[in-house]
């Protein structure tokens, strides 16, 4: 049963999201238009750059290196630019984080290869966290900023999967979503990655059925 659920989760045919022509909008606004940025866990917000994972047509939102830079910037990981290879590395890491989380959420052990990818990215990164005013600020190296940024994302996943948070990792029950989230509710009874999107949609469809 669990194996079947995992098979459903495999993206059958990835749809690359249409990228609208470059229009001059502030980076923050562009990121909000391009991505879902509402997941509280950084590593899971990264996995949400593919949406509708369990539907027939998962949508890839990291469509090119510029989109990767835009997402990283929205996460406070400002890189001077990224290459096609950076994008490949990012997608490889993202899918390893997702598959490992999906396994944990369904009470299975993550695949060893995914753990290797996660650990390799976590140890390769050299980012330093500093306090600026009242916020955490990531300092990335000039020569390998994307590697450092991916290290931050991998470390965030390691922190969740390797601590008591592990038992709170869940997959969203929203239609077609299957996004990862951390259930921090007191009764551990949260069902959706976000109340504003999937939770709301479920509520609306229940009302329509009535
Ligand atoms: Zn969801």
What is the helix (H) or strand (E) element at residue 132, kind and residue range? strand 128-132
Residues 59-81: pLDDT tens digits? 999 999 999 999 999 999 999 99
Pair type for strands 169-171 and 180-182: antiparallel
Task: Please list the pLDDT of the chain residue by residue as tens digits (210 residues).
Answer: 444 444 444 555 677 876 655 557 888 899 999 999 999 999 999 999 999 999 889 999 999 999 999 999 999 999 999 999 999 999 999 999 999 999 999 999 999 999 999 999 999 999 999 999 999 999 999 999 999 999 999 999 999 999 999 999 999 999 899 999 999 999 999 999 998 889 998 888 877 765
CA 37 to CA 45: how far, in whole Å?
6
Expressed in angstroms and rounded, the spacing between residue 129 Cα and the centre of ligand 1 is 30
- pTM for the model: 0.88
Expressed in angstroms and rounded, the spacing between residue 179 Cα and the centre of ligand 1 is 5
pLDDT score, position 204: 84
CA 140 to CA 147: how far, in whole Å?
9
Expressed in angstroms and rounded, the spacing between residue 69 Cα and the centre of ligand 1 is 24
Neighbours of ion ligand 1 (CB under 5 A): 172, 174, 177, 179, 193, 198
Expressed in angstroms and rounded, the spacing between residue 155 Cα and the centre of ligand 1 is 23
pLDDT score, position 25: 81
Domains delineated in the chain = 2-209 (1.10.3300.10)
Expressed in angstroms and rounded, the spacing between residue 50 Cα and the centre of ligand 1 is 11
Contact 120, 63 (CB under 8 A): no
pLDDT score, position 12: 55
């Amino acid at each position: 049963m669990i194996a079947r659920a995992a098979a459903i989760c495999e993206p059958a045919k990835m749809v690359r999201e249409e990228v609208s022509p470059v229009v001059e909008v502030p980076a923050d606004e562009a990121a909000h238009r391009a991505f879902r940025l509402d997941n509280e866990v950084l590593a899971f917000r990264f996995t949400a750059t593919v949406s509708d994972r369990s539907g027939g047509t998962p949508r890839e939102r990291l469509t090119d290196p510029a989109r990767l830079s835009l997402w990283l910037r929205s996460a406070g990981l400002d890189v001077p630019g990224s290459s096609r290879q950076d994008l490949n590395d990012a997608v490889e890491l993202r899918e390893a984080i997702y598959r490992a989380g999906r396994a944990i959420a369904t009470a299975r052990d993550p695949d060893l290869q995914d753990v290797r990818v996660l650990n390799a990215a976590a140890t390769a990164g050299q980012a330093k966290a500093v306090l600026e005013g009242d916020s955490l600020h990531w300092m990335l190296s000039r020569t390998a900023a994307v590697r450092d940024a991916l290290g931050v994302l991998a470390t965030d996943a390691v922190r969740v999967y390797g601590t008591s948070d592990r038992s709170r990792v869940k997959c969203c029950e929203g239609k077609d979503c299957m996004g990862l989230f951390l259930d921090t509710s007191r009764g551990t009874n949260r069902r959706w990655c976000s109340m504003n999107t999937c939770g709301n949609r479920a509520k609306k469809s229940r009302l329509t059925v009535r």
